[in-house]
A = this chain, B = another copy of it.
Amino acid sequence: MSKLVIVGTVAFDAIETPFGKTDKILGGAATYIGLAASQFNVDAAAVSVVGGDFPQDYLDLLSDRQVDISGIEIVKEGKTFFWSGKYHNDMNTRDTLATELNVLADFQPVVPTEYRDAKIVMLGNLHPLVQLSVLEQMETKPELVILDTMNFWMDCALDDLLNVIKKVDVITINDEEARQLTGEYSLVVAARKIHDMGPEYVVIKKGEHGALLFHNEKVFYAPALPLEEVFDPTGAGDTFAGGFAGYLAKSDDVTFENMKNAVIYGSTLASFCVEKFGTERMVNLKSSDVQKRLQQFKSLTQFDIELT
């Protein structure tokens, strides 16, 4: 088992979907990543920042699951990052209704001393300079650095983002973002271009259409579980990344073959995340639920053609 450092937002979200709306609830990339990774009982630490308005209960959700929160700075006089969004009927697109950076505006991440030798670093969605700062604090070179990002940083901090991309081993990015980053429509070509930017492994997330893992000329495809209803897609991408990172930290094997399994775990956990609003499903998720759904993933994809 490897130590895992997670950096990302810990936030309040207010979400509206065709199925209803929420008040301010627990959200943030590091939250979703941490909850997903905690399924593997790994030794993880979250690096983030919240305001004095952030409930201790929410922090306890992470620490109860053995996610070290000593790297989550609490700015007593500040307010927690807040995001609000509304999903369209197809659930694949959304409008951002509000983004209040608050304490995130001046965030200087500090990796706890005892995690500066972590073998796996998961850079969740945040300003690329914050992600970079976390990398620079690592005292031994991590075995694997995973980066998640979004189009927002391509629009407003592209040079910084490219600089981080250069330094990571794995990038997880969605299909439209991969196209934006490379100017290529074909995901195969886009993945190759991103590969040339630095990452040896490129994971392209396609939402309800699953995820692709590229490594040199190899490619692996994990479907999303076909669901009757996607209740709330918020956090699905972070949950995917958290499952991916958590599985790799637990299994201590960062080969392409094992990353296939990590992608399947990521997809499996993401399939739970979207079943309820926010983190609700993830905080109530049992290991037996996960095992059962992995079996569904196997039935969904495994076939038995004998080749001649």
Chain A: residues with CB nearer than 8 A to chain B?
89-90, 185-189, 206, 209-210, 212, 218-223, 226-229, 257, 260-261, 264-265, 291, 294-295, 298-305, 307-308
Contacts and interface: CB of A to CB of B under 8 A. Distances in A.
Contact of A261 (B89, B291, B300, B305): B305
B223 A261 contact: no
Nearest to A247: B305
A291 B307 contact: yes
Contact of A264 (B187, B227, B303): B303
A194 to B, nearest CB: 14
A186 B303 contact: no
Given A221-B300, A264-B303, A305-B294, A226 B89 contact: no
Given A186-B229, A298-B305, A301-B301, 8 more contacts: A186-B227, A186-B228, A189-B228, A220-B300, A221-B301, A260-B303, A291-B308, A298-B307
B299 A218 contact: yes
Protomer copies:
2
A185 B91 CA distance: 10
B299 A220 contact: yes
B221 A223 contact: yes
Contact of A305 (B89, B185, B264): B264
B226 A212 contact: yes
Contacts of A305: 261, 264-265, 294, 298
Contacts of A89: 185
A153 to B, nearest CB: 25
24 contacts: A89-B185, A90-B185, A186-B227, A186-B228, A186-B229, A187-B226, A209-B209, A209-B210, A210-B223, A219-B300, A220-B299, A221-B223, A221-B301, A223-B223, A257-B304, A260-B303, A260-B304, A264-B303, A291-B308, A294-B305, A294-B307, A295-B307, A298-B307, A301-B301
A305 B89 CA distance: 35
Contacts of A188: 226-228
The list of the 6 closest CB pairs from A to B, nearest first, reads: A209-B209, A221-B223, A260-B303, A188-B228, A261-B305, A221-B300
